[in-house]
Structure 1
Amino acid sequence: MSFSHVTVLLDETVDGALSDPDGVYVDGTFGRGGHARALLAKLGPKGRLIAFDKDPEAVAAATTGDTAITDPRFSIRHASFARMAEVLRAEGCLPLAGVLLDLGVSSPQIDNPERGFSFRFDGPLDMRMDTTRGESAADFLARADERLLTQVIRDYGEERFAFQIAKAVVARREAGRTPRTTAELSELVAGVVKTREAGQNPATRTFQALRIFVNAELEELEQGLSAALELLGTGGHLAVISFHSLEDRIVKTFIARESKAEVDRRAPFAPPVKPLRLAALGRIKPSEGEIRANPRSRSAVLRVAERLE
């Protein structure tokens, strides 16, 4: 089956990431290649774009069939962007002129019931972005104790009914009916969460929490941001799109921290202990027109920063 994807903040992100048309760039979240194709169109003949994606379906879309990118300046790796330093050092293609990250789950992942990301379709409760490795959400629910379940749902989903949901999961498991499908989990959560924001499914926060945990999204984001800063050359750009507060808080804090120099207060005229390494270039939200055309873009936040000396 074919699942479409509408790229969010396309021009704003590509323009934000671009610094030198003949430089080397990383698209750490290829997805279906919307940003990658637009960036390639703006690169010069010496430019190069290296993409990463954990999802084997995304890699297949980039390399096979009608959607394959045949541009010799492009290549893709089946790996998390958190590993970009390890991969790129081995290939000797540094420093980078720009790094682009479009975080979260893509429309093809959400809309495919077999991937288990959405409560809107019944399917196996998988939620892994890389289906070749790791523990599925169903397997996690089958082994986690009440305390760990509560912690994950509370911390990654910001769900105030986390304890009650965890308790219901454990009770269902002890009865021999551990949730194995998206419909089963959605039904369980709906039976516990009696109040929710208008228009929001009761299972929204629980599904988000499990997806983030199963894919170690926040840990990989922190690793990827650190790697990007390390690999960017002077004047290189970092452009990151976040879709929820947990991601955006990490990106915002990272840029703010690296945009400040640390000095030794005992020697105020000495060189900084930690020099200023980034300059924040802006924060951009989708326009009203983009939100009308693509409602999934409404929570997106783009942050752009430049690598200094």
Structure 2
Amino acid sequence: MQQDTALLRGLADVARDAAHPPAPPHACHGCGSAGGGVLADRDGGTVVRHGRAVAKAHAPGTDPVAHRARLAVAAHPRLAGILLPPLPVSTADVRGRPVSAWPYGTPVDPAEPEAAPWEEAATLLARLHAVPAPGLPGPLPPMRGPAKVVRAMTRLRQAAGAAAHPGTAAVHAAWRRLPAWARAEVPALRADAVCHGDFHLGQLVRHPAADGPWLLIDVDDLGLGDPAWDLARPAAWYAAGVLPAQVWTRFLGAYRAAAGPAVPPHGDPWPALDVPARALTVQTAALALAKATAAGRELDEVELAVVDSCARIATLPSELG
């Protein structure tokens, strides 16, 4: 994707202003300009850092009303210690795209998978799901998890040459076996919990220091929905053999220990997790095929595992809960 230099300059200005607020003068003492540059530049958002602040240009076409509601929820006292709160910004948009500013936090280190904060993440999700929705700024829109599955399937259909890949048919077949709510065709059967909507380990940072507490970030998909969706990606990875059983057990155990409402406190969790996990498998496989086709490369081991999972899903009954 070609970089928009004017967008990057505008985001750098927002991040600089957020890192150096005009009052009080000592508010950012010592932050200087240490650490900077483009942290991400993808279709879903562009992120630029300046010192202790980052600025994000959200995806083109972002609903401005829903965007403001999500930012207001992230700043609400009920979410303190769960979601990273936004910083004030001097401008509402850059190059026609909504912009937000955030404190910089230390992300999960992909080079140390054994230190991944699975228990901490599960506890944060349980706390998020337990936040009472009434009284929060709003109206809080629906959680966008199912919409992301639709977007992944659209991207697969539009990827030149993807139709020829032997795994594509299996992904489409698995997609057709999802219920209508998981394909964003009708409202979800359950839509009463505050959900992150796109949980994975990349949505965690330590703040305010490198050894501070973990917090959830990225509220672009935040909304009311089925809390099981936030557990679906780890569940899908476990079912595909990508996530070790002991890690899944730690994650699920920590969620239950924190009284998370997505699954029963005891017994089999899969009646609640089955459909969301299948949907996330379809989403992951569709994106893997689209990206691999565009890059002209073979699927890697993890990508093959999720495509194989779609082939298994395709043999299951169409009518799910």
TM-score by length of 2: 0.25
TM-score by length of 1: 0.26
